């Protein structure tokens, strides 16, 4: 398709008009008239309104309908005004895009690994029985007293029982209670139960050697 500037130039020549004649009719500077005919749109004023106004006046000066010229000029000027990218620019863009994609994939992989690790840790915490450590008494402890101090540590949010009776640990998971004993061998069973059912149990045996125990002292009281 013939470019808009060539169409105007051809029509001007057919009418035996010079650029100076067009200048006198339109008052458009000669350098802009030459730029329009040559298709050098970058040499025209930057605003699109000025470029279209010059083209309209040029077409009217040649007794032409400016509508088709304006449309074609808009299409050509938008294409020609695009600044060409320098050599190697596409390679740089490709490299930057590739690196960006690599970093994105690495970030996603790190997040995924972190999430999976957290998930495994949570599942392991659910499946494993709760931590339960009994500091005192030691197993096989021999005492001449009718009471003993049961001390230990477990996890938070577990149900703790000593010989079947529930004991409430403090916020740090520590517990301490004075337990009544009877003469002879006393079995102390400490259990920590998670809400999902996993249980840890520690058993302690305490021997009491005392002749002053009354009948009412038998059993375990809190």
CATH number, position 62: 1.10.260.40
Whether 213 has a pLDDT exceeding 50, the answer reads no
- Mean pLDDT, range 207-213, rounded to an integer: 72
Residue 121 pLDDT level (bands cut at 50, 70, 90):
confident
In this structure, are 136 and 198 located in the same domain?
Answer: yes
Q: What is the pLDDT of residues 22-61, one digit of tens each?
A: 999 999 999 999 988 888 888 888 788 888 888 899 889 8
- Mean pLDDT, range 195-206, rounded to an integer: 87
More confident: 208 or 96: 208
In a domain, 29, yes or no: yes
In a domain, 87, yes or no: no
In a domain, 86, yes or no: no
Percent of the chain with pLDDT over 70: 84
pLDDT at residue 220, rounded to an integer: 40
In this structure, are 24 and 66 located in the same domain?
Answer: yes
- Mean pLDDT, range 16-23, rounded to an integer: 92
In a domain, 46, yes or no: yes
The single residue listed with the structure tokens 């002749």 is: 211
* CATH number of the domain encompassing residue 157: 2.60.40.10
In this structure, are 137 and 110 located in the same domain?
Answer: no
Q: Give the strands of the sheet with 174-180, arranged side by side.
A: 132-136, 147-154, 174-180
pLDDT at residue 211, rounded to an integer: 61
Which of 48, 80, 112 is the last residue before a domain boundary?
A: 80
In this structure, are 141 and 201 located in the same domain?
Answer: yes
- Mean pLDDT, range 9-14, rounded to an integer: 92
- The verdict on whether omega for the bond into residue 137 sits within 30 degrees of 0, i.e. cis, is yes
Whether 155 has a pLDDT exceeding 90, the answer reads no
User: What is d(CA 10, CA 18) in angstroms, rounded to the nearest whole number?
Assistant: 11
In this structure, are 16 and 61 located in the same domain?
Answer: yes
What domain range includes position 30? 4-80
- Structural domains in the chain (count): 3
In this structure, are 148 and 103 located in the same domain?
Answer: no
In this structure, are 136 and 204 located in the same domain?
Answer: yes
In this structure, are 140 and 121 located in the same domain?
Answer: no
In this structure, are 32 and 109 located in the same domain?
Answer: no
In this structure, are 136 and 176 located in the same domain?
Answer: yes
More confident: 190 or 2: 190
In a domain, 137, yes or no: yes
Contact between residue 73 and residue 55 where contact means Cβ atoms under 8 Å apart: yes
In this structure, are 211 and 151 located in the same domain?
Answer: yes
In this structure, are 161 and 205 located in the same domain?
Answer: yes
In a domain, 166, yes or no: yes
């Amino acid at each position: 398709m013939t470019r808009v500037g060539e169409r105007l130039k051809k029509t001007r020549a057919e009418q035996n008009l010079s650029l100076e004649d067009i200048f006198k009719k339109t008052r458009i500077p000669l350098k802009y008239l030459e730029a329009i005919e040559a298709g050098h749109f970058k040499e025209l004023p930057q605003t699109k309104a000025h470029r279209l106004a010059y083209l309209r006046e040029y077409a009217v000066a040649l007794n032409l309908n400016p509508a088709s010229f304006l449309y074609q000029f808009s299409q050509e000027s938008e294409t020609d005004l695009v600044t060409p990218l320098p050599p190697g620019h596409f390679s740089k863009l490709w490299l930057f895009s590739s690196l960006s994609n690599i970093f994105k994939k690495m970030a996603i992989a790190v997040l995924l690994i972190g999430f999976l690790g957290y998930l495994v840790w949570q599942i392991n915490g659910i499946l494993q029985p709760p931590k339960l450590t009994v500091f005192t008494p030691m197993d096989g402890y021999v005492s001449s007293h009718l009471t003993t101090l049961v001390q230990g540590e477990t996890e938070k949010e577990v149900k703790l029982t000593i010989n079947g009776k529930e004991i409430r640990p403090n916020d740090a998971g520590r517990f301490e209670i004075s337990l009544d004993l009877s003469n002879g061998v006393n079995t102390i069973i400490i259990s920590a139960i998670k809400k999902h059912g996993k249980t840890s149990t520690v058993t302690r045996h305490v021997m009491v050697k005392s002749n002053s125990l009354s009948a009412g002292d038998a059993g375990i009281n809190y």
